[in-house]
Amino acid sequence: ELPTATKKAPSMSARAAKKELPTATKKAPSMSARAAKKELPTATKKAPVLQLDADNLREVANVHAMLAVEFHAPWCGHCKKLAPEWERAANELRVQRPPIFLAAVDGSLAKNSGLKTMFEVTGFPTIKIIRHGDLANAEDYYGPREAGGIVTYLTDARRTGRAQRPPSAATTAKPANQGVRLAFEPALISSCVPSSPRPQRFAYPNQPQTTSTLSSRST
């Protein structure tokens, strides 16, 4: 009276197991593969600056031959002035062949404190140039703050294989305050450093607003 499994009529458990186990195909990749692909931000015309953090900077740097990362803070006045220029430059550079991608990291967030330490960020804005995912050998940016100058400086840095340093900075291991230097004017350093707490809000162009519990003292 008890049914038996045969070649033509396999057991219920065998049929259920066969039905319940999905397999990844070219058209339907695994969930983990889809999730990993979804997490990496991409540059678009409306949002050309990649918004990165400690969770994805390394992965994004690994897939781009050249990546320039701006560390900013919501309370930094110099960062607010740089943001639209950085965005305009990003739109020009991302369509070059080969492309250069621009990114931004909120240095006021606790989750990104490790990145600040890694890149020796002590003031905002600080810009680092990363080639082929080599975070340990990121270069300091000494270029201008306006879009045209940013495009020219980074294009030259890609062509020559190194970021150009102002003549008077040739003997300096690191730029003072890690602030952005104007091209060939090393004495003109504009950067923000934290002082007393005062919450402020700042929206990077085409990005949601963030709130910081730090404050600023612009120099």
Catalytic residue status for 76: yes
Catalytic residue among 64, 72, 76, 107: 76
Catalytic residue among 64, 72, 78, 143: 78
Catalytic residue status for 133: no
Catalytic residue status for 72: no
Catalytic residue status for 78: yes
Phi–psi pair at 51, nearest 5 degrees: -90, 110
Just list the catalytic residues: 76-79
